[in-house]
Amino acid sequence: MWNKTKATQLLNIKYPIIQGPFGGSFSSVKLLSTVSNLGGLGSFGLNSFSHEQILEIGSAIKKATSKPYNLNLWVPLKSDPVHRFKEQDYNAWKDTYDPIFREVDLSIPAAMPKNELNFEDQLEAVLKLRPPVVSFIFGIPPLEAIKELKKNGTTIIAAATTIEEALLLNDTEVDIMIATGKEAGGHRPSFLNAAENSLQSTEDLLKLILAKLDKPIIAAGGISNGEIAWKYLEMGAGAVQLGTAFLATHESGATLEHKELLLSKNSYSTELSKIFTGRLARTITNSFSIDSLEKLIHAPYPLQSKLLSPLMKKYKENGWGEKLAFWAGEPSAILTKRSTESLFESLIQEIELLALKKKGA
């Protein structure tokens, strides 16, 4: 059976379909529980939530589903540039952005913001929740965390954007790896080399990793329909992860404007930029990013998004959606499904039809 893989067995799910985790307000308990209750693996991104908020989210998830689900955390980068961003760097940032703020009658932020979230606190909350699955991006989770999660019976997933990252993860007790191709929306979770230099396609990266490693691999990036999902499953992926297609559904936390852009009858274009958060991320092609790319510097994550927050809020109030960040991957097909259930069922139907064709060939 096409849906019986090493990954589905480890995750204890019926179908090798994973909903990618979203950061901030984009994840929702409704989306996660719908995917999990249908037999896939629903996910919730926790990178922007505090210890207390994570416990509240975990409690709500347990009330919504008894099926396996995934909680996602961002591992702090060992050479995080935020630690090198000093007062003189902030002053240089102010000088370059001040004219843009003045254009909409805003004052430049008076002081450099601080990063109030703490990975250790987030991890402690996740350990208390004892979730069935925890995924990590931007690096290798701490050894002690892996041991504690394993004691709780948690399956651990980590993401790689290069074969070198995958080989490092292979030497850990991580159970499953994600091959994250350049087509994926949102942040590029690279942790060894610069994200700009870690841009292999999903197909090429999957081939490389499958040829060298025997751990179950999840393919992620540019998967919008059953045809592409089946292609990667046939190649040997243990599961596929879809982000943008699920982001477009009613159940996600994305805004209506964001969803309508994703569901446009005309295919949209995407680009990679650091301008919105300080880390390389894929968004729908955007005039603010294009106009600013050559002349503006950026503060490191998460300072950049905090500093830009008043400006983005003003753009939103003015209805200037073309200047806002709308996260999206490169679609393999035009998105049409507005409900999570219809999207999930269409994926299963398309894959099963292709699997039957192969069997009958």
Q: Mean pLDDT across the stretch 30-38?
A: 98
Residue 294 has pLDDT above 60, yes or no: no
Which domain does 82 fall in, by range? Answer: 6-360
Q: Is residue 32 domain-resident?
A: yes
Instruction: Give me the number of domains the chain comprises.
Output: 1
Q: Is residue 58 domain-resident?
A: yes
Q: Is residue 40 domain-resident?
A: yes
pTM of structure: 0.95
Q: Is residue 220 domain-resident?
A: yes
Q: Is residue 1 domain-resident?
A: no
What is 245-313 written as a DSSP string? Answer: HHHTSTTSSS-HHHHHHHT-SSPP-EEEESTTTSS-EEEE--HHHHHHTTT---PPTTHHHHHHHHHHH
The pLDDT score that the predictor gives to residue 117 is: 78
Q: What is the CATH number of the domain that holds 54?
A: 3.20.20.70
Q: Is residue 171 domain-resident?
A: yes
The pLDDT score that the predictor gives to residue 136 is: 98
Q: Mean pLDDT across the stretch 95-112?
A: 91
Q: Is residue 352 domain-resident?
A: yes
Q: Mean pLDDT across the stretch 9-19?
A: 98
| pLDDT tens readout for residues 217-239 | 999 999 999 999 999 999 999 99
